[in-house]
């Protein structure tokens, strides 16, 4: 009962903040996603608080604290190793679908010697990614829609995509496009936020929470781990088994840490000014709802790997 009251309070808080400050960022089209990320990139709040990686971190022993920014770097290496991307030879061509400001792309290029192309729907993210990337790295960035990749079949040795799927309406097309551009024998690695498997067991409060998680961060829908695995298997470009794991336990500490970073780095708020402080406050209710959703089983953190 106390837990439900806690959730309701944060739902109400989130709604009030959204009404006072701005309308919610409900998904309308790919343009609404682009606009949201352009705004987040321009104000530099996330970059200054969380570093160059916007995705969650990996905590191998979740009873022991790990530096938040280091956990994000560790996550990239864990997914590379788990998926088998690290077995590709140096010089392999890899695409980062939904690259953000290029954090993962730079690790793929610098530490593994890959020729990396990062794509995102946000022109501001591309601009910032290029600014942050050394010219010595074999790493470039382009504006492109994940469901309309401008490449021939089999163009890449590896396909990498982290936390991009929730922003994409057509999940099957998203899977199809990634597999289409993957060469035979190439490696696909995906990590995403996923809803729990059985919608029929979602109660009234959970439905309200889920609506907030979709609307506040421009998500049209979440896949389940099982449904996105089926998207990969059912693709006409699929030629291999699809392996999945649930990494919720290894990533869940990221949600509280993403808030604590504001306390650890108060200088960021002073540097960016009061408007960024208000924007940061706006995100806290949604982050807390995310933490509750992943902790209660309403959401899961799924990872996927397959071969072309």
- The partner residues of 119 in beta bridges, in order of sequence, read 97, 142
What is the 3 state secondary structure string of the chain?
CHHHHHHHHHHHHHHHHHHHHCCCCCCCCHHHHHHHHHHHHHHCHHHHHHCCCCCCCCCCCCCCCCCHHHHHHHHHHHHHHHHCHHHCCCCCEEEEECCCCCHHHHHHHHHHCCEEEEEECCHHHHHHHHHHCCCCCCEEEEECCCCCCCCCCCCEEEEEEECCHHHCCCHHHHHHHHHHCEEEEEEEEEEEEEECCCHHHCCHHHHHHHHHHHHHCCCCCCCCHHHHHHHHHHCCCCCCCEEEEECHHHHCHHHHHHHHHHHHCHHHHHHHCHHHHHHHHHHHHHHHHHHHHHHHCCEEEEEEEEEC
CA distances for 47 relative to 4, 50, 125, 146, angstroms: 33, 5, 11, 23
- pLDDT for the residue 228: 98
Q: Which of 35-39, 122-126, 159-163 has the lowest mean pLDDT?
A: 35-39
Question: Which pairs with CB-CB distance under 8 Å and at least 24 residues apart come from 11-20?
Answer: 11/208, 11/209, 11/212, 11/285, 11/289, 13/285, 14/212, 14/216, 14/285, 14/286, 14/289, 15/212, 17/281, 17/282, 17/285, 18/216, 18/282
Q: Where are the domains of the chain?
A: 2-307
| Cα 32 to chain centroid, rounded | 16
From the candidate CATH numbers 3.40.50.150, 3.40.640.10, 3.40.50.2000, 3.40.50.300, the one assigned to the domain spanning 2-307: 3.40.50.150
Task: State pLDDT tens for residues 24-33.
Answer: 678 888 888 8
Cα(251)–Cα(302) distance, integer angstroms:
10
Cα separation of 53 and 61, whole Å? 21
- Whether the per-residue pLDDT at 156 is higher than 70: the answer is yes
Over residues 170-192, the pLDDT tens digits come to: 999 999 999 999 999 999 999 99
Split at pLDDT 50, 70, 90, the class of 14 is low
Instruction: Give dist(CA 221, CA 60) in Å, integer.
Output: 29
Q: What pLDDT does residue 2 have?
A: 44
Q: What is the pLDDT of residue 24?
A: 65
| Lowest mean pLDDT across 69-73, 164-168, 268-272 | 268-272
In this predicted structure, the answer to whether residue 200 has a pLDDT above a threshold of 70 is no
Q: Number of C-alpha atoms within 13 angstroms, CB side, residue 203? A: 5
Percent of the chain surpassing pLDDT 70: 88
**The tokens of 257 are what?**
């840490």
Q: What is the pLDDT of residue 20?
A: 47
- pLDDT at position 11 is 53
- Mean pLDDT for the chain overall: 88
């Amino acid at each position: 009962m106390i837990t439900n009251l806690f959730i309701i309070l944060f739902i109400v808080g989130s709604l009030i903040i959204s009404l006072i400050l701005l309308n919610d960022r409900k998904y309308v089209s790919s343009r609404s996603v682009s606009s949201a990320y352009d705004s987040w990139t321009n104000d530099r709040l996330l970059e200054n608080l969380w570093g160059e990686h916007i995705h969650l971190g990996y905590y191998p022993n979740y009873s022991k604290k790990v530096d938040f920014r280091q956990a994000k770097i560790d996550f990239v290496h864990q997914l590379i190793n788990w998926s088998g991307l690290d077995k590709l030879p140096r010089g392999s061509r890899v695409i980062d679908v939904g690259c953000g400001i290029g954090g993962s792309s730079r690790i793929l290029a610098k530490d593994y010697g890959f020729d990396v192309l990062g794509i995102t729907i946000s022109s501001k993210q591309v601009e910032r990614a290029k600014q942050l990337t050394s010219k010595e790295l074999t790493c470039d960035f382009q504006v492109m829609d994940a469901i309309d990749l401008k490449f021939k079949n089999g163009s890449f040795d590896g396909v990498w995509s982290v936390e991009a799927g929730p922003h994409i309406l057509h999940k099957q097309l998203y899977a199809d496009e990634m597999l289409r551009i993957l060469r035979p024998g190439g490696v696909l690695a995906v990590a995403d936020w996923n809803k729990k498997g059985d919608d029929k067991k979602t109660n009234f409060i959970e439905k309200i929470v889920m609506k907030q998680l979709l609307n506040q961060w421009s998500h049209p829908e979440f896949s389940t781990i099982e449904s996105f695995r089926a998207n990969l298997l059912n693709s006409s470009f699929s030629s291999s088994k699809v392996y999945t794991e649930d990494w919720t336990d290894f990533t869940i500490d990221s949600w509280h840490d993403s808030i604590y970073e504001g306390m650890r780095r108060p200088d960021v708020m002073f540097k960016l000014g009061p408007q960024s402080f208000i924007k940061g406050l706006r995100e806290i209710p949604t982050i807390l709802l995310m933490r509750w959703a992943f902790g209660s089983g309403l959401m899961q953190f799924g990872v996927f790997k397959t071969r072309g």
